[in-house]
Amino acid sequence: MPRPVDNPPNPWASQHVEWLEEPPTARIEVFEEEARSVLTENRSPDIGFRFSVNPYRGCLHACAYCYARPSHQYLGFGAGSDFERKIVVKTNAPEVLARELERGRADGEALVFSGNTDCYQGLEASYGLTRRCLEVCRDLEVAVNVITKGALVARDVDVLAAIAKRADASVFVSVPLLDDEVARAIEPGAPRPARRLAALRALSDAGVRTGVSVSPILPGLNDATIPAVLSAAKDAGASMAFMTMLRLPAEVEDVFVARVREALPLRAERILRAVRELRGGEQLNDSRFGERMRGRGERWRAIEGLFKLHARRLGLETSEVGEAVAKARTASRPRRGQLRLFDP
């Protein structure tokens, strides 16, 4: 069981503070646990990867739309403020990952980091679990794909570049919003968009294949800015892009609606109407496989067209709409029968 930490490390006073934004205004509680496994096997037909690594539960980025919020309830916490204030740290994640990989679990598969909560949230600056897990992948020549909003990923450019040479590595930086004020309202704990793009540039310059996730699509809020996001990512060296529709499973719907109405009162109803339009007109979510990560109707087709048009103009490789991760090529020098994770 997770154990509360009386005096958790403060990453905002650490040597890595240059990669972080201002500290959260709310009191953060940290719980440490020793995990039995850190590899999560995905069985959803909507998601284009099999295994993910998640060193943390809960997320300081506090994104209102985060689909992972309900998972916090399995720990006896809430999906709302608990998700972003009570963070569980898997202190033995690197050692467990090494043991699982050495035993052949996930053999032949690339690993996705941040399949659930962000592996580069603020506490990573102090704990360094993601970096140590990446070092395990480097030493065992296991391909990785990282999806993150954390500018802290730039700290690990050396390890990611080494993995790229030995096996394969790609990093997707999530930038659904470019405007600082709007981003702060919806993603209050995440780095500013400009910081994320700077991290993207650092990784690209180091030879790591990079992409941008314009996800989630928040109709009425960020659909019109898709071209600007793609252009900014291309300028930062990205070669790939993908997008997914907003998902609001279970309690996430309540959190999102409350946040939008509080933070963006003049735009809230327009945004919610647009979400319902893309979900068939009545509801804010569609949990069916094959539908939950994409929209419906003319407006969604227009969003798809806008994304594909500008991605093609910029020379960005794209995924099929509705996938959770981009179609990145895996290792050119496979290890033990390494399979391609995403086909072009």
pLDDT, position 46: 67
Q: Mean of the pLDDT values across residues 231-256?
A: 96
Burial class (CB in 10 A: 0-12, 13-18, 19+), 337: exposed
pLDDT digits (tens, 9 = 90+) for 5-23: 988 888 887 766 777 888 8
> What is the set of domains in the chain, with CATH numbers?
29-318 (3.20.20.70)
Nearest to 271, CA basis, from 228, 310, 307, 224? 224
User: Which of these ranges, 196-200, 220-224, 322-326, has the smallest mean pLDDT?
Assistant: 322-326
pLDDT at res. 23 = 81
Cβ pair 134, 127 in contact under 8 A: no
What's residue 176's pLDDT? Answer: 97
Residue among 205, 227, 200, 202 nearest 214 (CA): 227
List helix spans (H) across the chain.
81-85, 93-102, 124-127, 129-140, 157-166, 180-186, 193-205, 226-235, 252-263, 268-278, 297-314
Nearest to 104 by CA among 157, 150, 29, 51: 51
Reduce the DSSP state of residue 251 to 3 states and report it.
Answer: coil
Whole-angstrom Cα distance, residue 121 to residue 57? 10
Percentage of the chain with pLDDT > 70? 91
Mean of all residue pLDDT scores within the chain: 89
Q: Which residue bears the tokens 């204030």?
A: 85
Q: What angle do CA 57, 60, 66 make, to 5 degrees?
A: 70
Mean pLDDT of 287-301: 87
Structure confidence by residue, pLDDT tens digits, 33-80: 999 999 988 877 667 788 999 999 999 999 999 999 999 998 889 999
Nearest CA among 205, 203, 207, 181 for reference residue 192: 181
Q: What is the pLDDT of residue 45?
A: 64
Around Cβ 3, how many Cβ atoms within 10 Å? 13
Q: Under a CB-based contact definition with an 8 Å cutoff, are residues 333 and 340 in contact?
A: no
Average pLDDT score over residue span 177-205: 96
State how beta strands 39-41 and 51-53 pair: antiparallel
CB atoms under 10 Å from CB of 74, counted, come to 8
Burial class (CB in 10 A: 0-12, 13-18, 19+), 263: middle
Given a cut of 70, is residue 340 above it in pLDDT? no
Residue 60 is classified by DSSP as: T
pLDDT band at 329 (very low <50, low <70, confident <90, very high): very low
* Residue corresponding to tokens 């295994």: 51
pLDDT of residue 10: 83
Average pLDDT for residues 317-333, to the nearest whole number? 47
CA distance 67 to 253: 9
- Above 50 in pLDDT, residue 295? yes
Edge-first strand listing for the sheet containing 317-318 = 39-41, 51-53, 111-113, 144-148, 169-174, 209-213, 240-242, 317-318
221-249 average pLDDT score = 96
Task: Tell me which of 49-58, 91-100, 263-272 is least confident.
Answer: 49-58
The pTM assigned to this predicted structure is 0.89
* DSSP alpha helix (H) spans, 112-244: 124-127, 129-140, 157-166, 180-186, 193-205, 226-235
As a whole number of Å, the CA-based R_g of the chain is 19
User: What are the CA-CA distances from residue 268 to residues 66, 139, 275, 324 (Å)?
Assistant: 18, 48, 11, 26
Local confidence band at 328 (pLDDT 50, 70, 90 cut-offs): very low
CA–CA separation, 63 and 260 (whole Å): 11
Task: List C-alpha distances in Å: 217 to 24, 150, 294, 327.
Answer: 25, 19, 9, 18
Mean pLDDT of 90-95: 97
| Between 39 and 337, residue with greater pLDDT | 39
The SS3 of residue 298 is: helix
d(CA 260, CA 256): 6
